[in-house]
Amino acid sequence: MRTRALFLTIAWVFTGGSPSFFHVFAQAPTPTVVDSPTVKVLTGLMAPEFQEEMNHMVQALGVTCGTCHVRGNFASDDNPKKLTARRMLEMTKAINQQFFPDHKPKPGESVLGRVTCYTCHQGEATPKLPPGH
């Protein structure tokens, strides 16, 4: 906090007290909605939220971005794992809509709802089979 105040003071002096400096400073870069023909389930999310969902999936399945994505082209649907993942997104969304409609995700939680990829996957690419299999 003190460092920030000091920075502001220095910046104020440095810019000769120009009010435009504070105008620029107060304006956080406007996040944009991720809008793409190959975003079919996670629609209407701001870029940081969308990125968070991708991170949640990575952690829930214990995989990397490259497991589902063609190298160098996130929009491409040529990786079959991505298509499976999209079906899973649809399924997870449907479960939440039908059975947990009142759950409001807290900041940092998946926007999908109470049931997430982690609920079933628990850090594994393929969920465990029941005991005895």
Return residues touching ligand HEC (CB under 6 A).
Answer: 36, 38-42, 54-55, 57-58, 61, 63, 65, 67-69, 74-75, 81-82, 84-86, 88-89, 92, 115, 117, 119-121, 125-127
Cβ count near 82 (within 10 Å)? 16
- Kindly calculate the radius of gyration of the chain based on its CA atoms and give it in whole angstroms: 21
Instruction: Give the nearest distance from C-beta 28 to ligand HEC in angstroms.
Output: 21
Cβ closest to ligand HEC, residue 22 vs residue 41: 41
Cβ closest to ligand HEC, residue 81 vs residue 109: 81
Instruction: Give the nearest distance from C-beta 22 to ligand HEC in angstroms.
Output: 33
The whole-angstrom separation of Cα 86 and Cα 99 is: 20
Contact 61, 67 (CB under 8 A): yes
The whole-angstrom separation of Cα 124 and Cα 119 is: 11
Instruction: Give the nearest distance from C-beta 24 to ligand HEC in angstroms.
Output: 28
Instruction: Give the nearest distance from C-beta 105 to ligand HEC in angstroms.
Output: 14
The whole-angstrom separation of Cα 5 and Cα 13 is: 12
